[in-house]
Amino acid sequence: MLTRLRLPLLFLLVLTVQKSLLSDIDVRDVRPDALLLFVVCAGLVSGSEVGALVGFATGLVADLFVQAPLGLSALVFSLLGYAVGAFRSNLIREIWWIPPLTAFVASMAGVVLYAVIGAVVGQSHFVRPQLVTTALVVGVMNAVLSLVLVRLTSWALSWAGQERYAR
Amino acid sequence: MAVYRRTRPRFILLLLVLTAITLLTLDGRGTGSGVIDTIRSGARDAFAPVGRAADSVLEPVGNFFTGMIHYGDLKAENARLREQNEELRGQALQAKNSEREQQALLDQLDLDYVGDIPRVRARIVNAAASNFELTFEIDRGTNAGIAKGMPVVSGAGLVGRVVDASRSRATVMMLTDSTFSVGVRMSSSGDVGVATGRGVRAPMKVDLIETATKVDKGEVVVTSGLQQSVFPPGIPVGLVREARTPPGALQQEVEIDPVVDLRRLEYVTVLQWSPKR
C-alpha cells in the first residue's frame, strides 16, 4: 500500500522543484519542463497504459497553474505518455543512453504538440518563430534531468511492474 | 484475454483524450468557467505553503545554477554596473547639497505617476510555469485586495496586469506577453495608439500612430487612460526604439522598449484600480 504512495509523493516533489527551482533556471528564456519529463519517464518505465494515465493526471494539475485552457496539457501529456510507452514496449535491449535520448526527442515533440494543439484551440500565439529553439532547449535540459528522474520514477512505479532503467 | 490486454491501453487513451477534449471545450466556451476558476484558485492556495517552504530551501540552489548558466552575462553586467556606479557617484557628489534634487528622487521612488490610487506591494515568488506564457506569481492575493485585471507597476513604469488571483497568490501577465495590449499616448505629440507585446526579448509594437505624427527616438510612451481603458493614464510604458513609415503605409511602424527591466524585478506594486473609478 505504502509503495503506491510513492508516485503521488514523487509527483509533488517534481511539481515543487519545477515551480520553485527550475522556473528560475533558464537558457535563452526557456526553462526545463520537469512535469513533461515525469510523463516521459512514466511511459518509459511502465508502458503505454501507465504513461497515458500519469500523463493525464500530471497534465491536469499542470493546467491549473497556467493561463492556457484546462485540458490542453492533459491531452498532450496523455498522448505523449502513451507514445513513449508504446515505443518502450518495442525495445529489445536496455541501454543507458535510451532514457536521455527518449527524453530529448519526446520533450521536443511534447513542446511542439502543445503549441500546435494550443493553436487549434485558440492560442495561436503558441506557434511562433522561437518554437524550434524552445523545443530544442527543453529537449536538452530534460535529457540531462532524465538521468535522475527516470530512476526516481522507476522507484515510484515499482508496484506497477515492468521495472526498467532502475539500475 | 490477450486481445483485451492489447486493446486496453488504447481504450484508456481514447477515454482520456475524450475527457481532455471535453474539458477543453467547456473551458473554451466559458461553460463552467466559474467552477474551473475556483478549482484553479484552490490549487494555487493549496500549493502556496509547499511553494513557500520549497522556495526558502531551493532558492540558493537556483541562484547557484542561474549564476553558472548566466556567468558570462553577469560578468558583463557587473562591469556595466561598476561603470554606472562611478557615474552615479559623480552625479551624487554634484547633487550632495541639493535638497530639491533629493526630493525629486524620493518622489520618483514613491511612484508619483500613480497619484492617490490605493496600492499593494508584493514580492515575486515564482516565474512562469510554462514556456508559452510571460507571467509571474506574486505573494499577495484577494485577501490583500488584489483582483483580476488590476494594473501592476514598478518604480519605473508599467509591468503588466493581474490575470488571476487566489486568496494568497496572484498571477501577473507581463506587458511583453504576445497577448498583452495597452492603450498608449506619445508624450510629445499626444497621439494615441495601442502597444502590443511580442515576446521577452522583442520590443513592443505600437499601432495606430499616423504617418504625419513626429516620433522621436527615446521618446516616452505612457498609458493613455482613455475611457474604458484598463490602465490609469500617465504610467510610463516604454521608450521609442525606432519609428519608420513604409512606402504607402497608413500608419507608422513604431517599436518601443519597456521602461521596466522585467528580468530584474523582485518587488512590484499592484494598483487597486478599475476602469469604473
**Three-state secondary structure readout of B70-90:** CHHHHHHHHHHHHHHHHHHHH
Q: Confirm or reject contact between A25 and chain B (CB < 8 A).
A: yes
pLDDT at residue B101, rounded to an integer: 47
Closest CB to A24: pick one of B20, B62, B130.
B62
A23 → closest Cβ in B12, B20, B129: B129
Q: What is the pLDDT of residue B163?
A: 92
The answer to whether the Cβ–Cβ distance between A121 and B24 falls below 8 Å is: yes
| Stretch 10-29 of chain B: residues touching chain A, C-beta under 8 Å | 12-13, 16-17, 19-24, 26-28
Q: Which domain holds residue A135?
A: 2-20+28-160
Smallest Cβ distance to B24: which of A19, A55, A71?
A71
What is the pLDDT averaged over residues A17-23? 86
CATH number (domain holding residue A90): 1.10.1760
- Is residue A69 less than 8 Å (CB to CB) from chain B? yes
CB B195 within 8 A of CB B153: no
- Identify the helix (H) or strand (E) that includes residue B170: strand B170-174
DSSP state of B251: B
| Total count of domains within chain A | 1
The residue extents of the domains of chain B are 119-277
Band the pLDDT of A167: cuts 50, 70, 90: very low
Q: For residue range A59-111, what is the model confidence (pLDDT) as tens digits?
A: 999 998 888 899 999 999 999 999 999 998 888 777 889 999 999 999 999 99
Q: For chain B, list residues with pLDDT below 70.
A: 1-5, 30-33, 57-59, 61-63, 66-67, 70-71, 86-87, 89-112, 227, 276-277
Query: In this predicted structure, what is the pLDDT of residue B107?
Result: 45
pLDDT band at A147 (very low <50, low <70, confident <90, very high): very high
pLDDT for A165 beyond 60: no
Interface contact B40, partner A, CB < 8 A = yes
Cβ of residue B202 closer than 8 Å to a chain A Cβ:
no
In a domain, A92, yes or no: yes
Is residue A12, in this structure, part of any structural domain at all?
A: yes
> Is residue A106 in some structural domain?
yes
pLDDT value for B99: 52
Q: Which of B144, B125, B145 is nearest to B135 (CA)?
A: B125
What pTM value is reported for the model? Answer: 0.81
Q: What is the pLDDT of residue B265?
A: 85
Q: Which residue has the higher pLDDT, A124 or B67?
A: A124
Confidence of residue A25 (pLDDT cuts 50, 70, 90): confident
Residue among B39, B43, B132 minimizing CB distance to A68: B132
* Residue of A15, A23, A89 best to disrupt the B interface, most CBs of B under 10 A: A23
Percentage of chain A beyond pLDDT 90 is 68
Q: Is B22 helix (H, G, I), strand (E, B) or coil?
A: helix
Chain B CB contacts of A65 below 8 Å = 40, 43-44, 47, 129
pLDDT of B240 reads 93
The continuous run of DSSP H or E covering B182 comes out as strand B181-186
Assigned domain for A166 exists: no
CATH number of this structure's domain B119-277: 2.40.10.340
Write down the pLDDT at residue B52: 73
Mean pLDDT score of chain A: 90
Confidence of residue A31 (pLDDT cuts 50, 70, 90): very high
